[in-house]
Structure 1
Amino acid sequence: MDYEALYQQKLTTADEAVKVVKSGDWVDYGWCTGTACALDKALAGRMSELEDINLRGGILMWQPAIFQIPDVEKKITWNSWHMGGVERKACTAGFGFYNALRYSELPRYYRENVKHVNVAMFQVAPMDSHGYFSFGPNASHLKAVCDVSDVVIVEVNKNMPRCLGGFEEAVHISEVDMVVEGENPPIAELGAGGAPTDVDRAVAKLIVEEIPNGACLQLGIGGMPNTVGSMIAESDLKDLGVHTEMYVDAFVDIAMAGKINGLSKGIDRGKQVYAFGAGTKKLYDYIDNNPECYAAPVSYTNDARTIAQIDNFISINNAVDIDLFGQVNAETAGTKQISGAGGQLDFVLGAYLSKGGKSFICCSSTFKQKDGSIASRIRPTLADGSVVTDARPNVHWFVTEYGKVCLKGLSSWQRAEALISVAHPDFREQLIQDAEKMHIWKRSNKR
């Protein structure tokens, strides 16, 4: 097969490609840094003649042009697999909604439940000599999307890193209906945030103490996981592995410090495995054509059965708050969706199944409210409308700047006592009184 000839046959413009979209269609926009760009602008330009367009995507790194059309809430509905700042604004505006699903289930969900997408469009790396377009750092679930789409349109971006992997990290020219050569914008960067706070450093220190040589790491996104990564890079730890949902800058720092070789992993030895990645240019340059980095579908990376095969698995994730029963909310502020379920529960379950594995949920003990007052992240019960991301039987370790506690299997009074022991001292007495009212405090408990 002459792949270059096939490429030229399917090559078209963004304006021509989006003519395939019809009113009432379901259109998949890709994922994270692979979200459609030139095609998005072209589709936005067509919206005056279209109605009722349903879009799927997630972790938007910029505001799509289609969000900026007149009367947007009357024209489109954005259905997000995971929320970011751009998508939160869409929810507030009335045209954005969250799709609740464990992230590991997404490829199967497309193949068995969605079954049919009208049009899929997303950015890819340039075609290689074998006819494959790499999804870049977005393997995630995109092959499943392609498998169930009537029309697949790829938007080639020369700046997209070519991410190597074992399976479902690319789509072949024979499976693509149209090719658009985009404007080659730089890949959107996700900053690491500000400098770590004293709280971040205190929490990170408590977690790093629990990591043995030869451990395999999963880091979530946020200040605390990033700080843990920085401390690991500066530590004496060695022979570490990576098996994660999201590849972040911290892994590059740890690898460049010579801490990662992956040789202690029971599977995928020597490989840093991830479902998707986002960060600075440093990250994109590192994963580009790097045979040590292994892009794979999220149904593999996040499957608890996969994680369980890796000894000493260490999972580190953030939380919004936790109640005295041990229920963790990591995705909402009351009824307001601020992120998503993602893969946190997948890794909480998988890490515990790993021999020697531990999952850590971490957060600061307090936060500042809109009126400037300070509130505890450890609450008697979760706020009205808050979502339980991790049910209480599944939570393993919980960490604040005041300490770390293992909650697995504790009775309700033991759990309440443990959580109060790592709460901010200013809130402990009130939490004890709340626990007493809920009959989860014993006279013999420590005050």
Structure 2
Amino acid sequence: MNSYQEEYKRKLVTADEAVKVVKSGDWVAYSHFAMTPRVLDKALAARKNELFDVKVRGVCSVHPLQVALADPEQQHFIYNSGFFSGVERKLQDEGMAFHIPGLYVESPTNIRSGQNAPDVAMIVTTPMDERGFFNFSVSCSYERALCEMARTVIVEVNEKAPRCLGGFQESIHISEVDYIVEGNNEPLIEIPTHQPTEVDKKIAALIVEEIEDGACLQLGIGGLPNTIGKMLAESDLKDLGVHSEMLCNAFVELYEAGKITGARKTIDRFKMVYTFALGDARLYEFVHNNPACAIYPVDYTNNVNVIAQNDRQIAINNAIEIDLYGQVCSESVGTRQISGTGGQFDFTYGAFRSRGGKAFICLSSTKKVKDRTVSRIVPMITPGGIVTVPRTVVQYVVTEYGKVNLKGKTTWQRAEMLISIAHPDFREELIKQAEKMKIWTRTNKRLS
């Protein structure tokens, strides 16, 4: 038995034993996305009656949070998330979860400066390797920063977690770990691929025609990115690259179709760069020990200066609504938090600064609200809504009715361009509102 194995045995404890380090008033940080701790979360929730004012911080958990469910009145635990998943959104609706606003890229800096430093870090990892390292698997985000700043570091080992090659800061050594808990070893939760709608297909087609050989892609989750992936896989494009905060299923299809080589990237050539992966079992199998992929912390992947170094960087992101000034809301419906800012601002800004780069904000022209159809292009952001991307940063906006480039445009030009890609049923009313807002002139076209 080598020294690392001996140290492993000394530090191996049950989850119930490990969570005893948490004290009333502590901040506890969980690892993120598919790597949310489940065994430690359950054990911490079981200590409810012993603890008060424990703040738990997570990001986009795809698992039910036991600390929140065990204490709906928040007398013992307060759960907070930097980006809401569907699970966390439901908790918020019941008053059991709160949002932490911020730019994704700044998270490691905030933690290391002490602004969001945890007392205890609970991080899910792969099993320890022969050199004593635990890999953060499919979530590198800012796990390393959490571990550096925490008073106590607990790793929850999952034997089914894929090992994701770096990059850097993708692992922690056993000498830096205080306790080891062996988890339930369940496969990572799979996020189903959303089937594209006809609207998705129309929007995707408008974007695909803007992509050139050697372009570097950022895609998110959902029907639209996967539709774009399928279209690109069937196209004549070649030598595409990847620099994306998220690695999703679409990239696997593109890689296996021979479209992704990374040969024309300016930095990290031949590498698919990302900071977390979220998708199905095929994606998790793809990233495991794959030298074509490189996982980095988010202050690298989402750094606008890094993003801009790759020529022809393409950023494709979704929105909830956009107003006639060009302000984009992608994270809330009124005051109801839906997701978070994430990296949308980072990539929209960074892609535009890239030589030949393009940043797309995509949305269907309408949505259903109960039994009504409403426009997603609105005179002004819904009261209480969050501006995720300011009008000064937005470049392309795309709906199923077309795409417009708002860069350098006046307020009256923006209004006309955005109304031109709104659903026809809403254009006259939008024109009336634009006139009242004094962003419509007698030279504007009448849009039918």
TM-score (norm 2): 0.98
Give the equivalent residue in structure 2 for 1:94: 95
Does the alignment pair 1:396 with 2:402?
A: no
Q: Distance in 1 between matches of 2:431 and 2:409?
A: 17
Does the alignment pair 1:342 with 2:342?
A: yes
Partner AA of 1:336 in structure 2: R
Give the equivalent residue in structure 2 for 1:22: 23
- 8 A contact 1:225–1:318 mirrored in 2: no
Give the equivalent residue in structure 2 for 1:375: 374
Give the equivalent residue in structure 1 for 2:163: 162
1:17-65, Cα deviation, whole Å (9 max, x unpaired): 1111111111111111111111111111111211111000111111022
Partner AA of 2:234 in structure 1: E
Partner AA of 2:109 in structure 1: R
Give the equivalent residue in structure 2 for 1:290: 290
Give the equivalent residue in structure 1 for 2:53: 52
Q: Distance in 2 between matches of 1:70 and 1:60?
A: 17
Q: Does the residue aligned with 1:79 lie in a helix, a strand or coil?
A: strand
1:312-351, Cα deviation, whole Å (9 max, x unpaired): 0000000000000000000000000000000000001100
Q: Does the residue aligned with 2:74 lie in a helix, a strand or coil?
A: helix
Q: CA deviation at 1:222?
A: 2.2
After superposition, where does 1:114-193 map in structure 2 within 5 Å?
114=115, 116-193=117-194
Q: Distance in 1 between matches of 2:110 and 2:196?
A: 38
Give the equivalent residue in structure 2 for 1:438: 437
- 8 A contact 1:215–1:313 mirrored in 2: yes
Q: Give the 3 Å change call, closer, same or farther, for CA 435–259 of structure 1 in structure 2.
A: same
Q: CA deviation at 1:115?
A: 6.2
Does the alignment pair 1:311 with 2:273?
A: no
Partner AA of 1:355 in structure 2: R
Q: Which range moved further: 337-346 or 179-188? A: 179-188
Q: Does the residue aligned with 2:218 lie in a helix, a strand or coil?
A: strand
Q: Distance in 2 between matches of 1:128 and 1:444?
A: 68
Q: CA deviation at 1:221?
A: 2.2
Q: Give the 3 Å change call, closer, same or farther, for CA 322–71 of structure 1 in structure 2.
A: closer
Partner AA of 2:21 in structure 1: V
Q: Distance in 2 between matches of 1:72 and 1:53?
A: 13
Q: Does the residue aligned with 1:419 lie in a helix, a strand or coil?
A: helix
- 8 A contact 2:327–2:391 mirrored in 1: yes
Q: Distance in 2 between matches of 1:70 and 1:305?
A: 43
- Gaps of at least 5 residues in structure 1 are none
Give the equivalent residue in structure 1 for 2:384: 385
Q: Distance in 2 between matches of 1:347 and 1:70?
A: 37
Q: Distance in 2 between matches of 1:282 and 1:129?
A: 26
Q: Give the 3 Å change call, closer, same or farther, for CA 330–115 of structure 1 in structure 2.
A: closer
Question: Aligned-pair RMSD on alpha carbons?
Answer: 1.1
1:151-188, Cα deviation, whole Å (9 max, x unpaired): 00001000000000021111111110001111101101
Q: Give the 3 Å change call, closer, same or farther, for CA 70–406 of structure 1 in structure 2.
A: closer
Give the equivalent residue in structure 2 for 1:274: 274
After superposition, where does 1:252-267 map in structure 2 within 5 Å?
252-267=252-267
Q: Distance in 1 between matches of 2:396 and 2:114?
A: 34
Q: Distance in 2 between matches of 1:376 and 1:166?
A: 42
Give the equivalent residue in structure 2 for 1:247: 247
Q: Which range moved further: 89-98 or 293-302? A: 89-98
Q: Which range moved further: 429-438 or 61-70? A: 61-70
Q: Does the residue aligned with 1:426 lie in a helix, a strand or coil?
A: helix
Q: CA deviation at 1:383?
A: 0.6
Q: Distance in 1 between matches of 2:178 and 2:94?
A: 34
Partner AA of 2:181 in structure 1: V
Q: Distance in 2 between matches of 1:261 and 1:394?
A: 30
Q: Does the residue aligned with 1:140 lie in a helix, a strand or coil?
A: coil
Q: Distance in 2 between matches of 1:73 and 1:92?
A: 14
Q: CA deviation at 1:216?
A: 0.2
Q: CA deviation at 1:74?
A: 2.0
> How many aligned residue pairs are there?
445
- 8 A contact 2:366–2:423 mirrored in 1: yes
Q: Does the residue aligned with 1:23 lie in a helix, a strand or coil?
A: coil
Q: Distance in 2 between matches of 1:89 and 1:210?
A: 37
Q: CA deviation at 1:413?
A: 0.5
Does the alignment pair 1:322 with 2:322?
A: yes
Q: State, as a whole percentage, how many aligned pairs show the same letter.
A: 53
Partner AA of 2:172 in structure 1: V
Q: Give the 3 Å change call, closer, same or farther, for CA 333–71 of structure 1 in structure 2.
A: closer
1:233-287, Cα deviation, whole Å (9 max, x unpaired): 2211110000001111111111111100001000000000001111000000000
Q: Distance in 1 between matches of 2:367 and 2:105?
A: 31
Give the equivalent residue in structure 2 for 1:362: 362
Q: Distance in 2 between matches of 1:143 and 1:130?
A: 18
- Gaps of at least 5 residues in structure 2 are none
Q: Distance in 1 between matches of 2:272 and 2:192?
A: 21
- 8 A contact 2:48–2:71 mirrored in 1: no
After superposition, where does 1:221-240 map in structure 2 within 5 Å?
221-240=221-240
